[in-house]
Amino acid sequence: MKPSKKLKIISVAFALCILSSAAQTSEKPNILFIAIDDMNDWTGFLGGHPAAKTPNMDRLAEKGVNFSNAHCPAPGCSPSRNALLFGAEPFNTGLYAFYSSAVFDEECLDRPSVAEFFKQNGYNTYASGKIHHARPRTEAEWTEYHEKKKGSSYDGPRFDDEEGYIQGNQSKMRFSPSLYPMEDHPDYQFAQFGVDVLKREHDKPFFLAVGLVKPEGTRTLNLRIDSPKLGFVKYCEIKTYDC
């Protein structure tokens, strides 16, 4: 069997298993899908980095199953996401591009995404943050998609580069604490939307996808790292970095 068919079968089988097991109990389960960019194994329960403090994720891992022998379909963000969301490797779909929505056409996509699959099977589908890398949001896929908002006091990102570090004037070479309110950070908004959806009264089962952008880039310290000052100070206290 070709690898593309295997991955497609696994993705569809996963969704079908959820729906079929739910049918046995006469109820379809609500599903929370969390995508975290470039996390690697930097969590407490995987022990990938001594400075990683992830108590909430550690508690979640204790309650579920941890797949510690996982492999990405491609060494890049967008093609890996597309492979997971559509169930086929990029060398079979052609979905390599990061920022061009033109690649999402009928020639490349002869299958529904995971969200489309659930919506076609009676689910409401919600999302926030970074799920696809560039695909336009459509009603065929999402019942509701959170739009990032700017706070009333927001006048652009502000950073304390004296306490942190920036190489030259390159914003993507910054490691500094941010100075704007927590609620103006995109990941805070994405997570809060997920919390709000979970608290709602629902008349249909739902598939909720929450995509967090951070810790994108932290695996090399050569891309922009901006975090609330509180988190920045905590990591300085660990003495992992020369703060």
pLDDT tens profile 198-215: 999 999 999 999 998 887
* pLDDT bracket for residue 237 (50, 70, 90): low
Structure tokens at 176: 């500094």
Helix count (H) and strand count (E) of the chain? 7, 7
3-153+182-223 architecture in CATH?
3-Layer(aba) Sandwich (3.40)
Residue 119 pLDDT exceeds 90 = yes
Q: Write down the mean pLDDT value for the chain.
A: 76
Ordered strands of the 206-212 beta sheet: 31-36, 206-212, 124-129, 144-145
Cα 136 → chain centroid: 16
pTM metric for this prediction: 0.76
pLDDT of residue 4: 45
Question: Strands of 165-166's sheet, edge to edge?
Answer: 165-166, 174-178, 225-228
Write down the domain spans for the chain: 3-153+182-223
What's the pLDDT at 105?
A: 63
∠ at Cα 142 (139, 146), nearest 5°? Answer: 115
Residue range 46-64, pLDDT digits in tens:
988 887 888 998 998 999 8
Count of beta carbons in the 10 Å neighbourhood of residue 125: 25
